[in-house]
Structure 1
Amino acid sequence: MTSPWYKEAWPHVELKRDQNAKDKFENRAGGFRFSTSVGGRATGEGGDRIVADDPHNMSEVKSDAKRKEVLDWWDNTMQTRLNDPKTGAFVVVMQRGHQQDLSGHILEKSGADYVHLCLPARYEGNKFHTVLGFDDPRTEEGELLWPERFDEVTLSAIEESFSSKSEAAGQLQQRPSPAGGAIFKLNWFKSYTKLPKFYRIVEHWDTAQKANTTSAYSCGQIWAEAHNGYYLLDVIRKRMEYPELKRSIQTRYALNRPDVVVIEDKSSGISVIQDLQESTTVPVVAWSVTGGDKENRAKAVADTIESGNVWLPESAEWLDVFLDEIEHFPGSKFKDQVDVMTQAIEYFKRRGGLTEGRDMS
């Protein structure tokens, strides 16, 4: 504001002589710009424009706890800081680091109230328009955003410098996972329309502790093993209180008649296992997961999927949600469907192959 070019453009704007602090600048007309950090001092401050610039620390955005701190700060502190909610505006400028980072959170929760401008380093065919009249001028797939500064050689070197494709996709392409998937590529999965003879059918469950709107889902999947791999037949994913959860497991068992019902031996699953074993004839198996966290367990079965041994239906009402989580994992908002899938594949591999089975044709 004290530079010659600024004074030439806005000659009437001058700073107060006693308001030239690092975190707050005030001009002679009473306008000001106040700066704070995520979670920092905001009491008593408000504005006509509230701008969040890179609210996430990219080294911490994968942490659920650290990421939630930013989302809570935005929802519970900043939303009341506009001087006039009818005329004021929020502006968020950031790179993507997770499907449920602040941009993802805003687009999911109140995206219709925002203008979304996304400018990937390499054009991917998505046109974005703004109320300011700006359109991304690129038309060719892969066309560079700023070739005068980031030409092909420079951009390729930057892409290679990242520790993972997920990091490059988030910070350069503004996508929280590489195209087609991070750990799992969508084109690895095979598609079926007819069912072969199955050696065994297994119902897998990962049960959640609570059923409120922010908790994880309880997830059940019906898997079958055939001579050419593992088939996903059905998925139920729902927030359920204990009585409904128990009924759902029994209903699915009666409908699909699997050889066993495998339930992860933790959380509400402990009670479900005990209850079903004591009061029903459902063939329940208590399952203890091994192999570290969800991401490491997913990596452990990735080669099975890459080899073309996992089959999904060509169409199903649950398929789009399932594939979306698969594609964005481990940056997906929820991870329950991936975790049940990895447990199912691991179960089959631990139990060994069979040679005779059931004809589902």
Structure 2
Amino acid sequence: MQLTEADLLAVERELCRRSLADFAKRAWVVLEPAAKLKWGWALDAICLHLEAVTEGRITRLLMNVPPGSMKSLLTGVIWPAWEWGPRGMPEMRFVGTAHEEQLAIRDSRRCRDLIKSEWYQRLWPVQLSADLDGKREFGNTRKGVRQARAFTSMTGVRGDRVILDDPISADNANSEAKLEAARIAFTETLPTRVNSDKSAIVVIMQRLNERDTSGVIKDMGLPYVHLCIPMRFDPTRKCSTSIGWEDPRTEEGELMFPERFSEEQVCELEKTLGSYGTAGQLQQNPSPRGGGILKTAWFRYWTTAVPPLEWTEVFVDTAQKDGEENDYCVLQLWGRSTAGQGVLLDQRREKWEAPDLVTNARAFWNKHKASAFNPRRMGVEDKVSGTGLIQTLRREGIPILGIPRDKDKVSRGHDAAPFIESGNVLLPADAPWLSDFLAEAEKFPNGAHDDQMDPMFDAIDAVQRRPSEKPATANPVPTVSHFARRVR
């Protein structure tokens, strides 16, 4: 029996209705007629999770995949056209947003071009509205709409599907202002842009910073299904999701998409991006394993007692506010050993308002002033709440050194790194806060907090620049020659 053209069209309609991946492979010819499609299991994974959104099994979806993985094309272009046509859902309203409005408009335009194409209209004759047919916004005669907006300017739009594609650019990944703007837009604006409790939010992005939108979702414990596909397989982070999908790879370092990214290409990308870019953009883990600027293996440790010291000093890092999103206040006691090493002796770390900061800084000073350590002075960053602390404690007779920080923290981290790498920073091996300290060092400068690093950088600067200064004390400083390199 020979199939008629109508039969062939019916078969194609049914194949596309059943599978977003099959629809995507056919739509590719319309969208990219001059390029050969390279398909892999990672694209199937993206399609399966988008299908689950269509079927109502997922209403919040976070997908972390490397750049160049067709994420924008599949999610922002092909998926809306699939719901309107093959799935018979032309009433669906889509809002597509990205860190730049032009990127959101690009995907909206391509979606419109696909729906208007001869191939699509022959199979699914969805009629577009004559009075709503622009690049930024278009609709159909069944009340379905596809809109494009910048992520931080979403006022006035609502959708049954809100697609957030790369909320922050790689260039702005370390900008405090951009990260905060993205956080506010995601937590305060985006949730109000959905039509109902059955509406879906889909976030698809590469990781760039621990405080990016993926980091916000993780830290807040939001109920997102998380599809994470690193370029190279990391068995310690093997991904599985609630729809029964799991990463099919078994060998460490196995590539995600060898059909698209060969071993040679990935090696070149890793070299070009460096450790930070590779960790975030390729591995979806925005801090290189073992540390970035600061490697955890570089630190050494003292046990039982400290090595012989020349002087000790308190270093303070203050936070502007005590809100949950703000950094901690940190009080650290450091010493300079007779061998020229920086030795961290004690630390307190809390979120304090200004009056409590003064109280606790005074108590920390008095505690150690009455001990054998007897610090010579207190170094405090001279800005914001630190300035008030300096003024208050100086009036009480505590010797205070105001520390101007005239470099950004990344530059200060690079300045301190060689000293740490040389094994010149000793940490207390048994301190209860040591794990948090090392985790923060490992993730610097992309971690959610860096408050423990700032006073350490001040202390290292003091140890290196003021080696001849002696502690203003007649009390002996405890000594011991036992210290060790800790294997972690």
Amino acid at match of 1:184: L
Q: 2:186 aligns with which of 74, 80, 98?
A: 74
The residue that corresponds to 1:197 in the other structure is: 307
Q: 2:345 aligns with which of 227, 233, 236?
A: 233
The residue that corresponds to 2:478 in the other structure is: 359
Deviations 1:145-182 (A, max 9, x none): 111221111111122222x4212221111122222222
The residue that corresponds to 1:110 in the other structure is: 221
Deviates most, 71-80 or 26-35:
26-35
CA contact (8 A) 1:182 1:327 kept: yes
TM-aligned CA distance change 1:223 to 1:32, over 3 Å? same
Q: Residues of 1 paired with 2:297 and 2:251: CA distance?
A: 23
CA contact (8 A) 1:198 1:224 kept: no
- Match status 1:55 vs 2:163: no
Q: Residues of 1 paired with 2:411 and 2:426: CA distance?
A: 22
CA contact (8 A) 2:394 2:400 kept: no
The alignment's C-alpha RMSD in Å is: 2.4
TM-aligned CA distance change 1:345 to 1:30, over 3 Å? same
The residue that corresponds to 1:266 in the other structure is: 383
TM-aligned CA distance change 1:249 to 1:97, over 3 Å? same
How far does residue 240 in structure 1 lie from its aligned partner after superposition? 1.4
SS at match of 2:184: helix
Amino acid at match of 2:167: P
The residue that corresponds to 1:183 in the other structure is: 293
The residue that corresponds to 2:404 in the other structure is: 289
TM-aligned CA distance change 1:326 to 1:116, over 3 Å? same
How far does residue 262 in structure 1 lie from its aligned partner after superposition? 2.2
How far does residue 46 in structure 1 lie from its aligned partner after superposition? 1.5
Q: TM-score, normalized by length of structure 2? A: 0.67
How far does residue 94 in structure 1 lie from its aligned partner after superposition? 0.5
The residue that corresponds to 1:328 in the other structure is: 443
Amino acid at match of 1:202: E
How far does residue 186 in structure 1 lie from its aligned partner after superposition? 1.0
Q: Residues of 1 paired with 2:184 and 2:147: CA distance?
A: 21
How far does residue 2 in structure 1 lie from its aligned partner after superposition? 4.3
Q: Residues of 1 paired with 2:386 and 2:402: CA distance?
A: 10
The residue that corresponds to 2:35 in the other structure is: none
Q: Residues of 2 paired with 1:270 and 1:40: CA distance?
A: 37
CA contact (8 A) 2:154 2:190 kept: no
Amino acid at match of 1:147: P
How far does residue 333 in structure 1 lie from its aligned partner after superposition? 2.6
Deviates most, 347-356 or 219-228:
347-356
Deviations 1:184-223 (A, max 9, x none): 0111111332223331222111223333334332211111
Q: Which has the higher helix share?
A: 2
Q: Residues of 1 paired with 2:304 and 2:338: CA distance?
A: 14
The residue that corresponds to 1:244 in the other structure is: 356
Q: Residues of 2 paired with 1:318 and 1:193: CA distance?
A: 15
The residue that corresponds to 1:40 in the other structure is: 153
Amino acid at match of 1:256: H
TM-aligned CA distance change 1:290 to 1:213, over 3 Å? closer
- Match status 1:119 vs 2:229: yes
Structure 1 stretches lacking a partner, 5+ long: none
- Match status 1:30 vs 2:143: yes
TM-aligned CA distance change 1:136 to 1:196, over 3 Å? same
Give the share of equivalent positions with the same residue, in percent: 35
Amino acid at match of 1:195: A
TM-aligned CA distance change 1:170 to 1:5, over 3 Å? farther
Q: Residues of 2 paired with 1:40 and 1:276: CA distance?
A: 45
How far does residue 41 in structure 1 lie from its aligned partner after superposition? 4.5
Q: Residues of 2 paired with 1:48 and 1:347: CA distance?
A: 57
Q: Number of matched residues?
A: 353
Q: Residues of 2 paired with 1:254 and 1:41: CA distance?
A: 53
How far does residue 300 in structure 1 lie from its aligned partner after superposition? 1.0
CA contact (8 A) 1:13 1:27 kept: no
SS at match of 2:331: strand
Amino acid at match of 2:477: R
TM-aligned CA distance change 1:259 to 1:99, over 3 Å? same
Q: 1:171 aligns with which of 261, 281, 305?
A: 281
